[in-house]
Amino acid sequence: MSAAIDTDAPRGAKGGLESSDEDHSRIAPVGRGPKERFIPRAGAMLVMGVFTLYFLIPIWWLVVASTKDRADFLGTNPLWFADFAFVDNVAALFAYRDGVYLKWMLNSLLYAGLGALVATLLAAMCGYALAKYRFPGREAIFNVVLGGVLVPATALALPLFLLFSRVQLTDTFWAVFLPSVVSPFGVYLTRVFAEASVPDELLEASRLDGAGEVRTFFTVSIRLMFPALVTVFLFQFVAIWNNFFLPLIMLRSEELFPVTFGLYAWNSSINQFPELRSFVLVGALLSIIPLIVTFLLLQRYWRTGLGTGALK
Amino acid sequence: MRHTKRAVTAALLSTVALALVGCSAETGASDNNSASCEPADGDVTLTFTSWIPGIEDAVAIWNEQNPEIQVEVQTGPSGNAGTYQNFFNQLEAGNAPDLGQIEYDALPNFRVQDGLEDLAACADVVAAEDQFVDWTWGQVTLGTDDEVYGVPQDQGPMGLFYRSDLFEQNGIEVPATWEEYKAAAEKIRALGGYITNFSQTDINQFAGFVWQADGQWFQNDGDAWTVDLTGEESTKVADYWQELIANDLVSTYPAWTDEWNNAYNSGEVWSWNSAVWGANSIASGAPDTSGNWSVALAPQWNEGDATAGNWGGSSVAVFKGTEHLYEAAKFALWLNTSEEGLTSLNQTAQIYPATTAGLELPVLKEGVEFYGGQAIYDVFAEAATQVNPDFVWGPTMTQTYADVADGFKAAASGDGTLLDALTKGQESTISTLEAQSIPVAE
């Protein structure tokens, strides 16, 4: 511990001298090495290494397992490849029951992609209104929305089911889609961000130039809020993708399932129908690809947005 | 202002009135509880929820032959993994499917919650009793004389899967009694193997052992339930397996894991007391041992007995609230008794039929390669006739299983005994029944 303090102190001082950019100063000494003590650095690396392994080994196992045929899956080392049957496995998965798996993937993309898009737009409008307009009950509304952040989606699934039953919308696309377009956390984040990044002066100027409120929102404000919106989108995308309980309760028609629920349904029958095992494995592997792609594409914005929320 | 107020009041009143109408309409519907079993006038569409992959194929055959009664298949995870809970939610919301797949051990739960139509109203169903293997019919009448809560679909009579090659090479006779089984277990342990694996989590397998020993865990006299997890036979079975565990004569790998598969695949474990559907599980879990397995009737408690247990099996039940009891019953009967239906179910999902005629399907007469060409289903067909028809499941089996499994897991690691686990399960089951206001007989 004392070693850590020792190394920290000169580094901070040095950074201050060299550069006013805080980020830069933190990175620079590390690159130069000599000032850094070996043990704390190695310790940190060790901890990170252990955690990286801890998180990556299951994925590695999944990758390896999905390349094996049924006999090799049981008979060979689970962490290393045997005969490479990945292509066959994928082909079998896609062919099973007329490609129901692909349908599920498409459903997931639709629920998560479209749902997150609409949720982001709604959250942006709501957060923006709460940040930029003064009206009675504003704080009350905001607090209620904030309270919504505390209620887990799982707890709402059953009441939602009973509500949707009343209007006969269970087992439809809307049963999963409509609850997904609400994001209290998104409202919170966009409000904070709108307050910080959309200057009142700019809105005044826009009004003076004759732009209506809606136009101002879509042409000026939404661009300023963009990093926050990407964050909200990503959060919501992941939340919908992983929201397993709602489809479990709402859906009965296989052609409406999202991929998570479909795989769960297969997995629950593995004891009785062992041939489903390889489908579950390969399906699980393929199903994480869209999440990874989305993250990589939006990572840059994601970081900015996350930082903004944290600072407030 | 006053005007608006009045308008609001009027609106509120009319909403209340509407709500009242809604309520009375609903009570009207639920008053008319036991739907009559009459054919509908026009075309009918039924919904049927099942988690069996490929069941659509059988339904497609029906739909083609019966344009006036179309069946839509709905699906989901296996019963205890979510579909049962969904059924209860849907019954609550009044939009349950017409038909649903329900395993035998879950039927009493739905019966107690008043979720099922009594099919005894349909003459065709009552007349079909003779077509089914005796004890499977007992599973859907729930021990009553004149009520029927489902049409039996499949069954899981238990036998002994064993490594015939290993038994033969080492000069060990295939055990015909549980006493011989224990003796064989000692010999096999001396050779470094285990005779079998005791599953800590498959309490319904253990229930199958008790079933075979002529034990009864539950009784229902029409009103109150008797719970007897620690009866004489149940205690005998628990003590038997406790001794095998304590003397390290059986392995205790968690069932259905890779570890467990591997124990069979590597030849460490030599036999499995399992149901007919286990034939498939072994073939897929231990592919390297293909050709080396055989099936025998289960070991007996007394020499010369002919008893078998059962593990698993399910029925097709009709839910309360259906408007088409007649059509639903007709479809359920066709699916589970017609040769076309049963053949399709067997081809797509290896469903082992519950009818006596179904056990004679050509596909169930063939030798199976994995079992060295043995016609294993002949053995199970014989076992099916030896299952006690009076075994009754309790109304909260999910809870009972979970609580007993907790105790079994502890017992497997040397903490307590199987009998302790059953004693605890007995207590927790009674308190669960009481908590749900289900009468318990003392």
Six token digits for residue B399: 């809870």
Question: CATH number of the domain at B157-310+386-435, please?
Answer: 3.40.190.10
Mutation for A interface: B45, B48, B51, B269, most A CBs within 10 A: B51
Interface subset of B 54-93, CB within 8 angstroms of A: 54, 74-78, 81-82, 86, 89-90, 92-93
**Among all residues of chain B, which has the CA nearest to that of A278?**
B284
**Among all residues of chain A, which has the CA nearest to that of B57?**
A97
Report the distance separating Cα A41 and Cα A64, nearest Å: 32
pLDDT greater than 80 at residue A193: yes
Residues whose CB is less than 8 angstroms from the CB of residue B67 and which lie 6 or more positions away in sequence, other chains included: B43
**Among all residues of chain A, which has the CA nearest to that of B94?**
A165
Q: Is A218 exposed, middle or buried (0-12, 13-18, 19+ CB in 10 A)?
A: middle
DSSP codes of every residue in B45-63: EEEEE---TTHHHHHHHHH
pLDDT tier at A306 (50, 70, 90 boundaries)?
low
B74 contacts A74? CB cut-off 8 A: no
Interface subset of B 295-354, CB within 8 angstroms of A: 349-350
B75 contacts A275? CB cut-off 8 A: no
**Among all residues of chain B, which has the CA nearest to that of A257?**
B76
pLDDT tier at A302 (50, 70, 90 boundaries)?
low
Nearest to B261 among A74, A252, A272 (CB): A74
Query: Tokens 């639920």 belong to which residue?
Result: B30
pLDDT in tens, B329-369: 999 999 999 999 999 999 988 899 999 999 999 999 999 99
Q: Is B113 exposed, middle or buried (0-12, 13-18, 19+ CB in 10 A)?
A: middle
Cα A229 versus chain centre, distance: 13
Six token digits for residue B273: 């007391």
Nearest-CA distance A89 → chain B (Å): 16
pLDDT tier at B29 (50, 70, 90 boundaries)?
very low
- CA neighbours within 13 Å on the CB side: how many for B374? 20
A269 contacts B78? CB cut-off 8 A: yes
pLDDT in tens, A227-281: 889 989 999 999 999 989 999 999 999 999 999 999 999 999 888 888 888 899 9
pLDDT greater than 70 at residue B144: yes
Tell me the H-state helices in chain A: 2-18, 22-32, 38-65, 70-75, 86-95, 100-109, 115-132, 138-150, 153-166, 173-180, 184-197, 200-208, 213-216, 222-224, 226-242, 245-250, 259-267, 276-287, 289-311
Q: Is B415 on the interface with A (CB under 8 A)?
A: no
Considering the segment(s) A95-311 as one domain, its CATH architecture is: Orthogonal Bundle (1.10)
Strand-pairing partners, residue B100, are B49, B317
Q: What are the residue ranges spanned by the domains of chain B?
A: 44-155+312-364, 157-310+386-435
Number of H helices, E strands in chain B: 17, 9
Question: Mean pLDDT over residues A214-227, rounded?
Answer: 91
Considering the segment(s) B44-155+312-364 as one domain, its CATH architecture is: 3-Layer(aba) Sandwich (3.40)
Where b means 16+ CB within 10 Å and e means fewer, A231-241 reads bbbbbbbebbb
B285 contacts A265? CB cut-off 8 A: no
E-strand spans in B41-127? Answer: 44-49, 69-74, 99-103
Instruction: Look at residue B221 in the predicted model and tell me its pLDDT.
Output: 84
pLDDT tier at A34 (50, 70, 90 boundaries)?
low
pLDDT in tens, B54-73: 899 999 999 999 999 999 99
Instruction: Look at residue A75 in the predicted model and tell me its pLDDT.
Output: 73
Strand-pairing partners, residue B6, are none
Q: How many CB atoms lie within 10 A of CB B291?
A: 11
Question: Mean pLDDT over residues A171-197, rounded?
Answer: 94
**Among all residues of chain A, which has the CA nearest to that of B350?**
A273
Lowest mean pLDDT among A204-208, B31-35, B233-237, B332-336: B31-35
Residues whose CB is less than 8 angstroms from the CB of residue B279 and which lie 6 or more positions away in sequence, other chains included: B161, B295, B368, B370, B371, B376
**Among all residues of chain A, which has the CA nearest to that of B288?**
A71
Instruction: Look at residue B5 in the predicted model and tell me its pLDDT.
Output: 45
B284 contacts A248? CB cut-off 8 A: no
List every span in chain A annotated with CATH 1.10.3720.10: 95-311
Cα A312 versus chain centre, distance: 21
E-strand spans in B87-134? Answer: 99-103
Instruction: Look at residue A304 in the predicted model and tell me its pLDDT.
Output: 61
Report the distance separating Cα B249 and Cα B193, nearest Å: 9
pLDDT tier at B402 (50, 70, 90 boundaries)?
very high
DSSP codes of every residue in A20-42: S-HHHHHHHHHHH-TTS-HHHHH
Which ipTM value was assigned to this complex? 0.83
Instruction: Look at residue A22 in the predicted model and tell me its pLDDT.
Output: 43
**Torsions phi, psi for B299 (to 5 deg):** -60, 150
- CA neighbours within 13 Å on the CB side: how many for B33? 5
pLDDT tier at B18 (50, 70, 90 boundaries)?
very low
Mutation for A interface: B95, B155, B262, B311, most A CBs within 10 A: B95
pLDDT in tens, B271-316: 999 999 999 899 988 989 999 999 999 999 999 999 999 999 999 9
Question: Mean pLDDT over residues B174-195, rounded?
Answer: 97
Q: Which residues in chain B have Cβ-Cβ distances shorter than 8 Å to A268?
A: 51, 77-78, 81-82
Instruction: Look at residue A9 in the predicted model and tell me its pLDDT.
Output: 40
A252 contacts B74? CB cut-off 8 A: yes
pLDDT tier at A312 (50, 70, 90 boundaries)?
very low
Question: Mean pLDDT over residues A76-103, rounded?
Answer: 90
A209 touches A225 (CB < 8 A): no
Report the distance separating Cα A125 and Cα A128, nearest Å: 5
Question: Mean pLDDT over residues B83-94, rounded?
Answer: 95
**Average pLDDT over chain A, rounded to an integer:** 85
Q: Global pTM? A: 0.85
A264 contacts B81? CB cut-off 8 A: yes
Q: Which residues in chain A have Cβ-Cβ distances shorter than 8 Å to B95?
A: 165, 168, 170
The answer to whether domain B44-155+312-364 and domain B157-310+386-435 are alike in fold is yes
Report the distance separating Cα B181 and Cα B162, nearest Å: 12
Q: Which residues in chain A have Cβ-Cβ distances shorter than 8 Å to B285?
A: 74, 274
Lowest mean pLDDT among A19-33, A142-156, B394-408: A19-33
